[in-house]
Amino acid sequence: MNADFLDAHLRHREDAELLRKEQHWANADHLYGLSAECGLKRLMLAFGMPVNPQGTPHGVDKVHADEIWQRFESYRLRHSRGALYLLPADSPFADWQASQRYAHRSNFTEIHVKPHRNGAETIFNLIRKARWEGLVP
């Protein structure tokens, strides 16, 4: 399947919100991370990130939410509109890992999820802006 980072960002966020309302903290948390990763990758694509024929990035850009902040920054700085797509200096996903999907649900609480939700929301707002501006269709 080809990658569609925009749709993936949106659907992960939508489902994360549904799970959060049901207090399914573990899976909500995981999807906030995926939503963040996909949103930033869609923006990175708009800012010039190269991708393979399936639409996925390669090399140092093949990262998840815990490592994507700096990669986004490197593309943001190169683009003429990048100044208007600033992220907070510190990534809220530093303690998020893809491997946490194997962990017991008791490791996740509302307090754990909150900064990841906020981070995903920040990226969602950048995506909204990019769509209004036409950087992302």
Partner 1 sequence: MTTFDDILPEIGKVLAQENLAKLRPIIINRDLNGRIRLILKESTWKAMNKTAQTKLVKEVSACLGKHKYAPDRLLLSDSDFEAVKQDLMLFETELEPVKQGAPHFLLKDFLPEHFKNLKNLKEVTVVDRLVTETDWSTIAPLTNGPHRMVFFSIKGGVGRSTALAAATWSLAQAGKRVLVLDLDLESPGLSSALLPKDRRPLFGVTDWLVEDLVDNGDAVFGDMFAASELSNESDILVVPAHGLDPKEYLVKLGRAWMPKIDDKGAHEAWSARLRRLLDKLEAKHHPDVILIDSRAGIDEAASACVTELGAKTIFLFAIDGDQTWTGYDILFQHWRRTGKADSIRDRLQMVGAMIPDDEHAKDYFDGLCEEAYKVFCCLYDDIPAKDASGIEFNFEKNDLDAPHYPWPVRWNRGFAALQSLHSRFQDIDDDAFRAVFGELTKRIHIIVDSESES
> Which residues contact partner 1 (rule: CB under 8 A)?
80-81, 83-84, 86-89, 128, 131-135, 137
Nearest to 86 by CA among 126, 26, 117: 126
Measured from the CB of residue 31, what is the shortest distance to partner 1 in angstroms? 20
- Cα angle value 19/45/84 (rounded, 5°): 85
Tell the burial category of 60 from Cβ atoms under 10 Å away from its Cβ (0-12, 13-18, 19+): exposed
State which residue, 53 or 134, has the beta carbon closest to partner 1. 134
State which residue, 26 or 44, has the beta carbon closest to partner 1. 44
Measured from the CB of residue 136, what is the shortest distance to partner 1 in angstroms? 10
User: How big is the chain, counted in residues?
Assistant: 137
Query: Please, what sign has the CA dihedral across residues 44, 50, 31, 104?
Result: negative
Nearest to 87 by CA among 74, 106, 100: 74
Measured from the CB of residue 132, what is the shortest distance to partner 1 in angstroms? 6
State which residue, 89 or 102, has the beta carbon closest to partner 1. 89
State which residue, 60 or 86, has the beta carbon closest to partner 1. 86
Measured from the CB of residue 15, what is the shortest distance to partner 1 in angstroms? 17
